[in-house]
Amino acid sequence: MGPFAWRQAIANEPSELKIPELIDARNHGQSISLKAQPGKTSFYPGRESETLGYNGSYLGPTLRVHRGDDVEVAVSNTLGEDTTVHWHGLLIPGELDGGPHQPIANGATWRPVLPIRQPAATLWYHSHAYGRTAEQVYAGLAGLMIVTDDEEKALGLPSEYGIDDIPLVLQDRQFEDGVLTIPQGMMTMMHGRQGNTLVVNGTVNPFARVPRRLVRLRLLNGANARFFNLSFSDGRSFHWVASEAGLLENSVELRSLHLAPGERAEILVDFSDGRPTTLETGQNSSTSMMRSRSAGAEKEAVVRFEPQGAEASPIQIPEQLSSHAHLEASQAIRRRHFEMTMDMRQMMSGRSGSFGINGRSFDRGRIDQRIGLGDVEIWEVSSAMMVHPFHIHGVHFTVLSRNGSLPDVRDQGLRDTIVVQEPVELLVKFTQPAETLPFMYHCHILEHEDNGMMGQFSVS
Ligand SMILES: [Cu+2]
């Protein structure tokens, strides 16, 4: 078969959605082992790609941890190069955070004990290796972490993992004749690494059988740089129930949902009518410099859902999902400004350090901000060019304003990552110490991060 005929054949071949293995810390004596390892993955039949994974060849298991527990994760490294594991969204001290200051050498094991002291949420873990984050995550070093607690369990939301509580790690990857390739070059650096194919949980062209009832989808944008604008092919609505840091106070009925790199959302979808439908995304919006120009009509399939079995009696979505202690802007003792900047002249010359924050590229030896433990601050974040997802380690924040007005519907809830182009004001409380090792804040387009769009702060 020539390449063209082969491509035609595989393009029509849907595969059952892979579900990452679930490791519940309580079933493993609060001790989990993760091994970062190289491997080979067949994204297409008969075509092997060189990849990286945790305990497998691509991506990692889903770790389920419980509020109040202390969970040891023994991370061993057999990659042949340094790596780190960052627990994205977990509220833990800086020494446990797994940022670029904490390399795990090849052959070594890192054993942080993670105190789980936050409400139920969908988090994730991924490589944050100095200068190597983008390539390591692209090759597969990412996985989900689910925090659960009694309050969430009491709501009776769908929670049978892989059945009616389905993890969806959304990524795009570049394939040539069915083999994963890694785009390089100046445009790749500028727009971030993007691919010609959507991959969900490592599955190309996936379908999932779901029960004929309410189903929870845990969505993670695990792409290096691609923005998703998700909706269903039949236009059905769904309920958004959780932002990055956990359950919203009240669910929000939506027909579409933007998800920037690093962001998560939990949604409830009613499949009781038994009709198949496809979760789709609009064309990538980050490749254009202006988000407003992104409105393309063409849709790409993300995953097809095929409801099975008998119709279940309808479940009422609880009126109130959670309650948050609300911070007031008046509690802020300081205001700081962050502008994500790109130096086009440096970029054209191919030099590193062309990305920065407030015009400065990341420097491991420089603490950019020193913050008091327990302080509340307003961070005003803006972007000189392009849309950037801004992520802060070690905190959850709320959005006070966007472009001087009230925040978008999608800005609500507690978050750790936020889409920025027009200025946003974030209300941030620093509850976790970072004395010996700092926390990072950075653009979650991973190529931008690796090229310097990152800063660091201490908390003491
Ligand atoms: Cu960026």
Q: Which domains does the chain have, with CATH numbers?
A: 3-149 (2.60.40.420), 165-308 (2.60.40.420), 329-459 (2.60.40.420)
At residue 283, does pLDDT exceed 90? no
Residue 22 class from Cβ within 10 Å (0-12 exposed, 13-18 middle, 19+ buried)? middle
pLDDT for the residue 451: 94
At residue 7, does pLDDT exceed 80? no
Residues 123-173: pLDDT tens digits? 999 999 999 999 999 999 999 999 999 999 999 999 999 999 999 999 999
What is the DSSP secondary structure assignment for residue 427, as one 8-state letter?
Answer: E
In the chain, the amino acid numbered 183 is P
Residues 94-131: pLDDT tens digits? 999 999 999 999 999 999 999 999 999 999 999 999 99
DSSP labels, 358-420: TTB---TT---EEE-TT-EEEEEEEESSS-EEEEETT--EEEEEETTBPPPGGG-S-BSEEEE
pLDDT for the residue 385: 83
Query: Tokens at residue 450, please?
Result: 């690796």
Q: How far is the CA of 362 from the centre of ligand 1 (A)?
A: 13
Q: How far is the CA of 285 from the centre of ligand 1 (A)?
A: 13
Q: How far is the CA of 267 from the centre of ligand 1 (A)?
A: 26
- Contact between 148 and 66 (Cβ < 8 Å): yes
* Cβ contacts of 193 within 8 Å, gap of 6 or more: 134, 138, 174, 182, 183, 224, 225, 446, 447
Residue 83, classed as helix, strand or coil, is strand
Rounded Cα–Cα distance for residues 397 and 324 (Å):
12
pLDDT for the residue 294: 44
At residue 49, does pLDDT exceed 90? yes
Q: What is the mean pLDDT of residues 193-210?
A: 97
- Among positive and negative, which fits the CA dihedral 150, 156, 159, 165? negative
* Cβ contacts of 154 within 8 Å, gap of 6 or more: none
Question: Residues 187-200, buried b or exposed e (16+ Cβ, 10 A)?
Answer: ebbbbbbbbebbbb
Rounded Cα–Cα distance for residues 218 and 239 (Å):
12
- Among positive and negative, which fits the CA dihedral 106, 111, 116, 117? negative
pLDDT for the residue 384: 83
**Choice among 266-275, 338-347, 360-369, 420-429 with the minimum mean pLDDT:** 338-347
Q: Tally DSSP H helices, then E strands, for the chain.
A: 6, 34
Query: Tokens at residue 38, please?
Result: 């190289």
Mean of the per-residue pLDDT values for the chain? Answer: 93
Higher confidence at residue 317 or residue 136?
136
pLDDT for the residue 344: 77
**Choice among 167-181, 212-226, 352-366 with the minimum mean pLDDT:** 352-366
Query: Tokens at residue 270, please?
Result: 């009613």
pLDDT for the residue 396: 97
Residues 392-442: pLDDT tens digits? 999 999 999 999 999 998 999 999 999 998 999 999 999 999 999 999 999
pLDDT for the residue 295: 47
pLDDT for the residue 352: 62
Q: How far is the CA of 444 from the centre of ligand 1 (A)?
A: 6
**In terms of pTM, does the model score above 0.85?**
yes
pLDDT band at 1 (very low <50, low <70, confident <90, very high): very low
Candidates 203, 289, 296, 219; CA nearest to 259 is: 219
In the chain, the amino acid numbered 18 is K
User: For tokens 């100046």, what's the residue?
Assistant: 186
Q: How far is the CA of 17 from the centre of ligand 1 (A)?
A: 30
Query: Tokens at residue 14, please?
Result: 């849907």
pLDDT for the residue 313: 78
Candidates 216, 226, 205, 51; CA nearest to 142 is: 51
Q: How far is the CA of 173 from the centre of ligand 1 (A)?
A: 18
pLDDT band at 297 (very low <50, low <70, confident <90, very high): low
Q: What is the mean pLDDT of residues 297-326?
A: 89
Q: How far is the CA of 224 from the centre of ligand 1 (A)?
A: 10
Query: Tokens at residue 89, please?
Result: 């969204």
To 10 degrees, the CA torsion angle through 378, 241, 203, 81? 30
Candidates 58, 317, 327; CA nearest to 199 is: 58
At residue 24, does pLDDT exceed 60? yes
What is the DSSP secondary structure assignment for residue 224, as one 8-state letter?
Answer: S
At residue 317, does pLDDT exceed 50? yes
What is the DSSP secondary structure assignment for residue 96, as one 8-state letter?
Answer: G
Rg (CA), the chain: 21
Q: How far is the CA of 97 from the centre of ligand 1 (A)?
A: 21
pLDDT for the residue 347: 72
Rounded Cα–Cα distance for residues 66 and 74 (Å):
17
pLDDT for the residue 41: 98
Q: How far is the CA of 342 from the centre of ligand 1 (A)?
A: 9
At residue 450, does pLDDT exceed 90? yes
Between β-strands 15-16 and 206-211, what pairing exists: parallel, antiparallel or unpaired? parallel
Task: State the distance between the two ends of the chain, measured CA to CA, in whole angstroms.
Answer: 63
pLDDT for the residue 316: 83
Candidates 138, 152, 145; CA nearest to 167 is: 145
Phi, psi (rounded to 5 degrees) for 378: -105, 125
Phi, psi (rounded to 5 degrees) for 292: -65, -20
Q: How far is the CA of 225 from the centre of ligand 1 (A)?
A: 8
Task: Report in angstroms the alpha-carbon separations of 37 from 73, 95, 96, 97.
Answer: 16, 24, 21, 21
Q: Which residues pair with 112 in a beta bridge?
A: none
Q: What is the mean pLDDT of residues 4-8?
A: 56
Phi, psi (rounded to 5 degrees) for 440: -100, 155
**Which residues are near ligand 1, the ion (C-beta closer than 5 Å)?**
388, 443, 445, 448
Q: What is the mean pLDDT of residues 278-299?
A: 64
Share of the chain above pLDDT 90, in %: 85
Share of the chain above pLDDT 70, in %: 94
Between β-strands 70-77 and 31-44, what pairing exists: parallel, antiparallel or unpaired? parallel
Q: How far is the CA of 443 from the centre of ligand 1 (A)?
A: 5
**186, containing H or E segment:** helix 186-191
